[in-house]
Chains A and B, each alone.
Chain A
Amino acid sequence: MTAFIVKRVLSLIPILFIMSVIVFLIIYLIPGDPARVMLGDGADEATIQQLRANMGLDQPLILQYGQWMGSALQGDLGDSYFLKKSVSAVIGEHLQPTLSLALLAELIAIAIALPFGIWAAVNRGGWADKALTAYTLLGITIPGFLLSMFLVLLFAVQLKWLPVSGYAPISDGLWNFLKFLILPGVSVGVVMSSVIARIVRSSFLEVMNQGYVKTARSKGLRERSIVYKHILRNALIPILTVIGGTFGTLLAGAAVVESIFNIPGLGQLLVHSVSRRDYTVIQGLVLFIAFTYVLVNLVVDLLYAVVDPRIRLNK
C-alpha cells in the first residue's frame, strides 16, 4: 500500500513541475514589458523600474522561476500590486463562496445523476435510456452560464421567487445562504449531472454483466438488493473518478457563473484580476487551482486503492 502511494505521488511530480512552468511563463506571453502593461500608460519610469525589481523581472529567467516556485512551495505566492495584500490572503478571502457553490452543485449533480443513470442502465434501450441520451446531449450543449441566465430570467425576473444575484455567508442564516446559491448551484449541478449520469450508466452496465450478479440473481435475491449491494458498490469506482474530476473543474469552471451571480469567489477574483491586469494574482490563483485540481484527483485515486484491493495489487 505504501509503495503504491509513493509511486502514485512521485508520478505527479513531473506533471506538477511542467504545470508550474506553464503558469510561470504565462506572464511572458504579454506583448512588451509586464510591469509597463500592469501600470498603464500614465506611469512614470521610476515606478515601473521599482515594480520590475519587486516582481524580479530584472533577473535571469531560471532564477526568477526558482524564486517564484521556491516561495510558492512555502505558501507565499507574492503580493498583489493593486490590492496591497499577499496573494495567499486574497485567495483565502475568496475561498468560502467558491467551496460552498462547488459543494452544493456537486450534491445536486449526484442527486440527479445516480438515480437517473441507474434507471437508464436497468432499462437499457428503453425510454429512460433514451431520455438519458438526450439529457447528456443537452448537458454538453448548454453551458452552465447560459443555463444560469435562462434560470434567472424564469425564477428571478419573471416569477421573482429568488434573488437575481448576490451572496450571503452561512453565518447569516441557512435560508439567506441558500437563496443566493440555489440558482447558480442548480445551473452548474445540472450540467455536471449529465456527465456523471452517463458514467453511472456505463459503469452499471459493465458490472451488471459480471458473473457474481448472475449468481446473486440465480440465488433468488431481490432485485433491489442486487442493484444496491452487488452492482452499485462495484460500479462506484469510475463514478468516484468522474465526481473527483468534476469537483476540481468546479473550482475554476464556475468562474463565469460566479460572475453572473456576483458571487465573490475565486472565479470572480480571477475575472477581476484579469481586468485589473494583476498578473501576480492571476499566476498565483491559476497555480493554486491547478494544483488543487491535481491533488483532488490524487486523493480520489488513493481512495480507491483503499476501497478496492484489486487496484493497489495490479499496479
Chain B
Amino acid sequence: MEKAQPSLHLAKRKRAFGNRRRGLLKRLLASKTASAGSVLIIVVAFISFFAPWISVYGPHEVDIVNRLSPPGTEHWFGTDNLGRDIFSRVMHGTQISAQVGFTVALSVAILGLVVGLYASMYKWLDQLLMRTMDALFAFPAILLAIAIMAALGPSVSNLIICLIIVFIPSVARIVRSAALVAKEQTYVEAMHALGASQTRILWQHIMPSTISPLIVQSSFIFAEAIIVEAALSFLGAGIPAPMASLGNLLADGKMYIYNSWWMTLFPGFALIISVLAMNLFGDGIRDLLDPHVRQGKGKK
C-alpha cells in the first residue's frame, strides 16, 4: 500500500495510483495533527469568508459614547478607543491575514518552483539564481521586510510583494535540492536517452517529486507570512492604519494596554489560532509525505 508496485500494465498502474491517492486522504484523516490543523483552517476560512455577515457592527463603525467598554453582551470582545467593535475587527483582521498569507504562499510556491527547477537544470543559471537566493536568505527575514517596506511605503499590495521577495529563497532552495535528487534517478536518465526535451523532463518527470516538500514548505510560509504581516503592521510599516489587520489591532492594543486588556488579548488569540492552524497542517502533512518519518514510526 505504501509504495505502488511498478507495473507495465496500464490499467493496473492506474489502479495503483488511485489507491495511493485514496490512501493519502485516509492517512490525512487518520493523523491527529493534520486533521486538527484542517479543522482549524476550515474554521478560520469560514470566519474570514463570512466576517461581514457574522458581525453586527462594521469594523470601522465609530461609537464614541461606548469607547473602551469591556467585553459584554453588547460587544462580545469589547470596544476600542474609538468605540469600534473588537469582535468585528478581529474577524476582519483574520480575513486580511488569511488573504495576505494565502496570496503570499501561493505566489511564493509558484515562483519558487520555477526558480528552483530551472536552477537545478542549468549550471550557469544555478550560480546566478542560487547565489542571489543565498544572499536574500542570509538576511534576517524581518530586517529585509522592514527595509523593503520602508522603500515601497505601507499598503496591502506592497506588503504582498515584500513578503514574496522575503520568502522565495526558502522555497527555491527546497525545490532545487529535491530536483537535484530526482535528476540523478534512472527514469530521468531513461527520458534523456529517449530524446525527451529538457522542458518535458523538467516539468513532467522531475517536477512531481518536488511537490510534497513544496506543499509542506508553503504551509509553513503561510503561517510565517501571517506573523511577519502582523509584525510589520504593528510597527506601522505594513497595512495602513484604519484597516482592521491583526497587527494594527495589536498596535492599538499596546497603546491602551494599561486599562483595556481585551484590545490585546483577543487579536492576539486570533493571530495564534490562524498561525497554529497552518503549522499543525504543515506538520501533519510533512509526517504523511516524508517516508523517513513514516518508516521511523513503523520501526518503533
Least CB distance from A1 to B in Å reads 25
Q: Which residues of A contact B131 (CB under 8 A)?
A: 14-15, 18
Residue A290 at the B interface, CB < 8 A? yes
Complex contact A252–B140 (CB within 8 A): yes
By beta carbon, the residue of chain B nearest A249 is: B140
* A149, CB-defined interface residue at 8 Å: yes
Is B138's CB under 8 angstroms from A277's CB?
no
Q: Is B179 an interface residue (CB 8 A)?
A: no
Q: A255 near B: Cβ within 8 Å? A: yes
By a CB distance below 8 angstroms, the chain B residues around A170 are: none
Closest to A25 in B: B151
Complex interface residues of chain B between 99 and 151 (CB less than 8 A to chain A): 131-132, 134-136, 138-144, 146-151
| A residues 270-293 in Cβ contact with B at 8 Å | 270-271, 273-275, 277, 279, 282-283, 286, 289-290, 293
Take A137-B279, A152-B257 as given contacts and tell me if A26 and B148 are in contact as well, using a CB distance cutoff of 8 Å: yes
Q: Is the CB of A274 within 8 A of B149?
A: yes
The answer to whether A164 touches B257, judged by C-beta atoms less than 8 angstroms apart, is yes
Q: Please, how many angstroms separate the alpha-carbon atoms of A253 and B151 in the complex?
A: 19
Bound CA span A15–B140, Å: 14
Nearest A-chain residue to B231, judged by Cβ = A256
Q: Is residue A2 within 8 Å, beta carbon to beta carbon, of the partner chain?
A: no
Is B250 interfacial (CB 8 A cutoff)?
Answer: yes
A294 to B137, CA, bound (A): 11
- Per the bound structure, the CA–CA distance linking A50 and B209 in Å amounts to 57
Q: How far is the CA of A125 from the CA of B297 in the complex (A)?
A: 10
**Residues of A contacting B227 with CB < 8 Å?**
143
Question: A255 and B143 in contact (CB under 8 A), knowing A137-B279, A150-B268, A294-B138?
Answer: yes
CA–CA, A28 to B150, complex, Å?
11
Shortest Cβ distance from residue A134 to the other chain B in the assembled complex, whole angstroms: 11
Tell me whether A271 and B275 are in contact (CB under 8 A). no
CA distance A197 to B254 in the complex (A): 30
Selected contact of A146 from candidates B134, B142, B271, B279, CB within 8 Å:
B271
Query: Which of A251, A275, A290: most chain B Cβ within 10 A?
Result: A290
**Is A22 close to B, CB under 8 A?**
yes
Report B13-45 residues with CB < 8 Å from chain A CB. Answer: none
Neighbour of B272 across the interface among A26, A141, A270, A290, CB < 8 A: A141
- B151 CB contact (under 8 Å) in A19, A30, A141, A248: A30
Task: Tell me if A221 is interfacial: C-beta within 8 Å of chain B.
Answer: no
Residues of B within 8 A of A293 (CB): 138-140
**Cα distance A249–B276 when bound, in Å?**
22
In contact, B140 and A248 (Cβ under 8 angstroms): yes
Check B235 against A279 for contact (C-beta < 8 Å): no
Q: In the complex, which residues of chain B have a beta carbon less than 8 angstroms from the beta carbon of A142?
A: 272, 275
Binds A, one of B2-10, B77-85, B185-193, B258-266: B258-266
| Complex contacts, A251 vs chain B, CB 8 Å | 140
Collect the chain B residues with CB atoms within 8 Å of residue A152's CB: 257
A255 and B272 within 8 A (CB): no
Instruction: State whether A259 touches B272 (Cβ < 8 A).
Output: no
Contact at B272–A146, with CB atoms within 8 Å?
yes
- A18-B132, A274-B146 are known contacts. Are A149 and B254 too (CB-CB below 8 A)? yes
Kindly list chain A residues whose C-beta atoms are within 8 Å of the C-beta of B153.
Answer: 30-31
Interface-central residue, B132, B139, B261, B276, by most chain A CB under 10 Å: B139
The docked-state distance in angstroms from the alpha carbon of A255 to that of B146 is 10
- A145 and B231 form a contact (CB under 8 A): yes
Q: Residues of A contacting B292 with CB < 8 Å?
A: none
B235 with A274: CB separation less than 8 A: yes
Q: Which residues of B contact A (CB under 8 A)?
A: 131-132, 134-136, 138-144, 146-153, 223, 227, 230-231, 234-237, 250, 253-254, 257-258, 261, 264-265, 268, 271-272, 275-276, 279-280, 283, 300
Instruction: State the A residues within 8 Å of B (CB).
Output: 14-15, 18-19, 22-23, 26-31, 125, 137, 140-143, 145-146, 149-150, 152-153, 157, 164, 248-249, 251-253, 255-256, 259-260, 270-271, 273-275, 277, 279, 282-283, 286, 289-290, 293-294
Given A23-B147, A294-B138: 17 more A-B contacts, CB < 8 Å: A15-B135, A26-B148, A29-B151, A141-B275, A143-B230, A146-B271, A149-B254, A150-B265, A153-B261, A153-B264, A256-B231, A256-B234, A260-B254, A274-B237, A282-B147, A286-B139, A293-B139
Which 7 pairs across A and B sit closest by C-beta, in order of nearness? A18-B135, A252-B143, A29-B151, A274-B150, A252-B140, A19-B135, A30-B151
13 contacts between A and B (CB under 8 A): A15-B135, A18-B131, A26-B151, A29-B151, A140-B223, A145-B234, A149-B250, A157-B258, A157-B261, A252-B142, A256-B142, A260-B254, A271-B235
